[in-house]
Structure 1
Amino acid sequence: MNVNEQEMLESITTKVMEWEVEDGSSWIKCPAGLFKKEHLFELWNPLQNITDAWRVVEKMIESGYQFELECKLGEYYARFSKEQPFQWGAAKSATEAICSAAYKAARGYVQ
């Protein structure tokens, strides 16, 4: 996992899923228990697992976002919108597009 993916997963974990960072910054408390970050991302990785990515979508919807996902010519586009401007992500996989859009929304990027 590269640095950008690590940062994206950490941001989604804390800002979207609202899981707590415990004991400094090396532990994360999630519904399944307390995990070291590196072990959690081996078990839960929405960048690679569509079930995990869909949990991110569900959490965003619970937070008031609307969601769209489409595929055009082999490229996936995910969009979360709550208020204008919307946040979108484009990638070769649906999971990466979902994570990119959720990351941008969580970080408050302006399109």
Structure 2
Amino acid sequence: MTEQKIVETLATRVMGWELDNRYFIGATRHECFLLPDGNRILRQNWNPLQNIADAWALVEKFEHYRMQSCANGQKYCEFLYEGHWYGGHGFSQQEAICQAAINTARGDFLGLKWRNKARQRD
């Protein structure tokens, strides 16, 4: 999954925003996310993989979370959703948060589908 697709999936499936590619500033068309309150965020201005503040906005969507550092230097994040913990690893906090949020949105208990898919490609 590309970074652009990850950001789009997080925006639409976790944050609950809509993708809007019909927004014009002057004569230039821009892709943006349409928020439930009618406001817009330009797509290029929201990237939870790169921006920790954007990543923490994802964390706030879940009732409970856990974050820890692993022995190999990676970060691990888990979200509790509908009685199950969904987790993800990353080299930074924001990558771990995004991975856990993607796995939660997919209903991927502890990232098993993600890891199995990666193993099948190897």
Give unmatched runs, 5+ long, in structure 2: 23-30, 113-122
- With normalisation by structure 1, the TM-score equals 0.76
Q: Is residue 90 of structure 1 aligned with residue 96 of structure 2?
A: no
More strand by share: 2
Kept in 2, the 8 Å contact 1:28–1:34? The answer is yes
Q: Secondary structure at the match of 1:47?
A: coil
Which residue of structure 1 lines up, in the alignment, with residue 10 of structure 2? 12
Distance 1:104 1:34 in 2: 26
Aligned match for 2:55, one of 53, 56, 63: 53
Distance 1:76 1:47 in 2: 13
- With normalisation by structure 2, the TM-score equals 0.69
Kept in 1, the 8 Å contact 2:79–2:87? The answer is yes
Measured on the aligned residues, the alpha-carbon RMSD in Å equals 2.3
Q: Is residue 28 of structure 1 aligned with residue 63 of structure 2?
A: no
Q: How many aligned positions are there?
A: 100
Which residue of structure 1 lines up, in the alignment, with residue 117 of structure 2? none
Distance 2:85 2:4 in 1: 24
Residues 53 and 23 from structure 1, CA distance in 2 versus in 1: closer, same or farther, beyond 3 angstroms? Answer: closer
Q: Secondary structure at the match of 1:18?
A: coil
